[in-house]
């Protein structure tokens, strides 16, 4: 299953839940792991929403576990990389093709992005379990 990063993603179950899909889907997901922490945070922020860059910054900066402020150059580099990897895609924004500001670019998570974020969460959960064992 191959698609351009900007091709719309059909709603429905993610690739790991699609019957008859090749075993490459697991390899496709694993290929993206481990995620950079900021990339993972961006995927989490975009789950179920379409946001523009400044709104993503504000959401990221609300996270008490994230140190410092978000630098625009770093954010947009991560967004470009996530988009090139097919984990997020640019959208029209606010529905019906209306944008709050035509200069703003809106993004949302793709099905592959959801699957990769889920796999990263499971990977981190395993690391945390090992750390808990270490601490006794």
Instruction: Establish if 85 belongs to a structural domain.
Output: yes
Domain assignment of residue 31, given as a range = 23-135
Q: What is the CATH number of the domain that holds 81?
A: 1.10.10.10
pTM over 0.85: no
Instruction: Establish if 16 belongs to a structural domain.
Output: no
The C-alpha atoms of residue 51 and residue 47 are separated, in whole angstroms, by: 10
Instruction: Establish if 87 belongs to a structural domain.
Output: yes
Q: Two tokens at 46?
A: 């975009």
pLDDT for the residue 136: 77
Instruction: Establish if 2 belongs to a structural domain.
Output: no
Neighbouring C-beta atoms of residue 120, cutoff 10 Å: 21
> pLDDT tens across 21-64, in order?
334 489 899 999 999 999 999 999 999 999 999 999 999 999 88
End-to-end CA distance of the chain: 45
Q: What backbone phi and psi angles, to 5 degrees, belong to 56?
A: -65, -45
pLDDT for the residue 11: 39
Average pLDDT of the chain, as a whole number: 82
């Amino acid at each position: 299953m191959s698609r351009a990063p900007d091709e719309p993603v059909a709603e429905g179950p993610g690739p790991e839940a699609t019957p008859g899909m090749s075993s490459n889907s697991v390899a496709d997901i694993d290929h993206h792991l481990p995620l950079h922490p900021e990339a993972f945070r961006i995927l989490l922020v975009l789950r179920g929403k379409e946001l523009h860059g400044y709104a993503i910054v504000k959401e990221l900066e609300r996270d008490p576990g994230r140190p410092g402020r978000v630098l625009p150059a770093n954010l947009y580099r991560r967004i470009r990389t996530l988009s090139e990897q097919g984990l997020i895609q640019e959208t029209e924004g606010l529905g019906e093709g209306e944008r709050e500001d035509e200069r703003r670019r809106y993004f949302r998570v793709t099905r592959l992005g959801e699957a990769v974020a889920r796999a990263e969460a499971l990977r981190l959960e395993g690391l945390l379990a090992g750390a808990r064992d270490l601490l006794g």
